[in-house]
Amino acid sequence: MTDDPVLIEMLAALDRSPDVLALRLRVIELLAERGRHAEALAQCGTALTQEPGNARAVELLQQCTAALAGGAAPLAPASAEPAALPNTPAVSAPDGQVADVEPASTSNPESVADYDWDAAEDQVADIVAPAFIDSGPAEYAASSDAGLFSRTRVTLADVGGMDEVKRQLDLTLLGPLRNPELAKAFGTSARGGLLLYGPPGCGKTFIASAVAGELGANFYPIEIADILDIYTGSSERNLHSVFEVARRNAPCVLFLDEVDALGHKRSQMSGNSAMRTVVNQLLNEMDSATVDNEGVYILGATNHPWDIDVALRRPGRFDRMILVALPDPAARKAILHYHLRERPVAGIDLGAIAARTEGFSGADLAHVCTSATQLAMAESIRTGTVRPIGMADVEAAMAQIKPSAGAWFESARNVVEFANGDGSYDELAMYMKRMKMR
């Protein structure tokens, strides 16, 4: 298995570009062709997390599941009609490795390999629309990508809970933009940038997309890999190009994720002159005295605002900060509904789950849903009978998963206690006090 140059190269390419779904699907096909069905099954789970319901991923999932259960199903070409199977990820062990899937008993006349998957589709057809005990919140709207930009239909109404975040967005950005004459009369504007900060996995990117939807503007998300380059001067040119594209396509919400990596404190870069020039370029691009960013609304996101260069925090740049903290009960309920909405479920009490997951981030809740799906699928594989995800699966998943934001709040506590002389983190301090974290 170690001397397969094609597969080695494809896996290396996937490591470099993990978000390219077509590449992941090709890797799954290669793994399945070589009989490495357990690894292929794990990759199927990742693919379905990236794009729930992807027809090719579902088809490969069925083939790998059948092969592991004892029936060596041939690998169908990509153009074949997809077989019906609930779009669920693979079964994973707690340490992240693929769990051994117990083959169906040979005494069972309906082994998984011979299982009538069309009949299984009929069995779950009435629960593909999630059968929650309560109706749950409105579903998040989907956004469609078109080149560099997306015209998202998501708005703040699709963000469950988080009323304080919405209030601050309306006060600092949306209000002035919706009422330009009134803003002019009061001598204020929405110029400059807005920084969303908080623990990882709490929806900063989703909120930025919702802001673009509120404004009816193009959404232009930028990650650190889109900017940084190994060649001298290329990173600065990339950054300038990003802003130029945003200006040409105004109105536009330019979203800079992990902005602390681009705008790190220059005082801590004594041995990295290349990164200092990137920070300088970012300062220039956001300076209203040298460039015209009319119609470009710059939003940044970071887990570590205390690492951002002080010059980026001055008025006219990222001069306003909003804490995006752990989801409140309403937000948790909305997140759970979103991640279970296209999976076969029955008897799920969203309110009860939300009440028992205080301290969980949005990413933690997504992990709970995925783990519950894996448990239900594992039993379906063992018994040869497809069944929906139930409360018992969710409860078992919650017992295995612990909140992941604790380390972030430990760091934040030090900042609040010893580095809040100018009051920048008063909102964070009040939140931690209210949540009894300090």
Locate tokens 């967005």: which residue? 169
Whether 107 has a pLDDT exceeding 50, the answer reads no
Predicted confidence (pLDDT) at residue 43 exceeds the cutoff of 80 = yes
In angstroms, the CA 396 to CA 202 distance is: 23
**pLDDT on residue 194:** 93
Q: Higher pLDDT residue, 89 or 21? A: 21
- Which residue would you say has higher pLDDT here, 296 or 151? 296
Tokens in use for 9? 């190269």
Confidence of residue 79 (pLDDT cuts 50, 70, 90): very low
pLDDT at 67: 77
pLDDT > 90 fraction of the chain, expressed in percent and rounded: 40
Residue ranges, comma separated, of all CATH 3.40.50.300 domains in the chain are: 162-325
Domain with CATH 1.25.40 in the chain: 5-105
DSSP 127-183: GSS-EESS--SPPPPP--EETTEE-----GGGS-S-HHHHHHHIIIIIHHHH-HHHH
The pLDDT value given to residue 62: 79
Angle formed at CA 298 by CA 184 and CA 325, multiple of 5 degrees: 105
Kindly tell me the number of DSSP H helices and DSSP E strands found in the chain: 18, 9
407 pLDDT more than 60 = yes
Please choose, from the candidates 17, 21, 39, 20, the residue with its C-alpha nearest in 3D space to the C-alpha of residue 30: 39
Pick from 53-67, 127-141, 183-197, 274-288: least confident? 127-141
- The DSSP 8-state label assigned to residue 52 in this structure reads T
Query: Residue 282: pLDDT band by 50, 70, 90 thresholds?
Result: very high
Look at residue 302 and tell me whether its pLDDT is greater than 60: yes
pTM recorded for the entire structure: 0.67
Report in angstroms the alpha-carbon separations of 277 from 239, 280, 309, 363: 11, 5, 13, 34
Q: Which of 60-64, 80-84, 215-219, 345-349 has the lowest mean pLDDT?
A: 80-84
Pick the CATH number of 5-105 from 3.30.56, 1.25.40, 1.20.272, 2.60.40: 1.25.40
Q: Say how far apart CA 386 and CA 335 lie, in whole Å.
A: 25
Residues in Cβ contact with 387 at an 8 Å cutoff, skipping those fewer than 6 apart: 376, 379, 380
Range of weakest confidence among 20-24, 105-109, 345-349, 410-414? 105-109
Pick the CATH number of 162-325 from 3.90.850.10, 3.40.640.10, 3.40.50.300, 3.30.1540.20: 3.40.50.300
Range in 71-80, 187-196, 295-304 with the lowest mean pLDDT = 71-80
Q: What is the mean pLDDT of residues 230-258?
A: 91
Which tens digit of pLDDT belongs to each residue from 317-376?
A: 898 899 999 999 999 999 999 999 888 899 999 999 999 999 999 999 999 999 999 999
Neighbour tally for 64: CB within 10 Å: 26
Report residue 130's pLDDT band, with 50, 70 and 90 as the boundaries: very low
In a 10 Å sphere around its CB, with 0-12 CB exposed, 13-18 middle and 19+ buried, how is residue 40 labelled?
buried
Q: Which tokens is 142 given?
A: 């989907």
Residue with the bigger pLDDT between 115 and 243: it is: 243
Rounding to the nearest 10 degrees, give the CA dihedral for residues 285, 288, 294, 296: 40
What's the token pair of residue 180? Answer: 């330009």
Least confident of 147-151, 166-170, 278-282, 363-367: 147-151
pLDDT band at 390 (very low <50, low <70, confident <90, very high): very high
Q: How confident is the model at residue 149 (pLDDT cuts 50, 70, 90)?
A: low
Among 46-55, 73-82, 110-119, 223-232, name the most confident range: 223-232
The pair of structure tokens assigned to 359 is 């301290």
Mean of the per-residue pLDDT values of the chain: 80
Q: Please give the Cα distance from 66 to 111 (Å, whole number).
A: 9
Beta bridge pairs of residue 146: 149
For residue range 177-199, list pLDDT tens digits in order: 787 777 677 776 666 789 999 99
Looking at residue 92, what DSSP letter applies?
B
- Provide the pLDDT for residue 224: 87
Query: Could you tell me how far CA 119 lies from the centroid of its own chain?
Result: 34
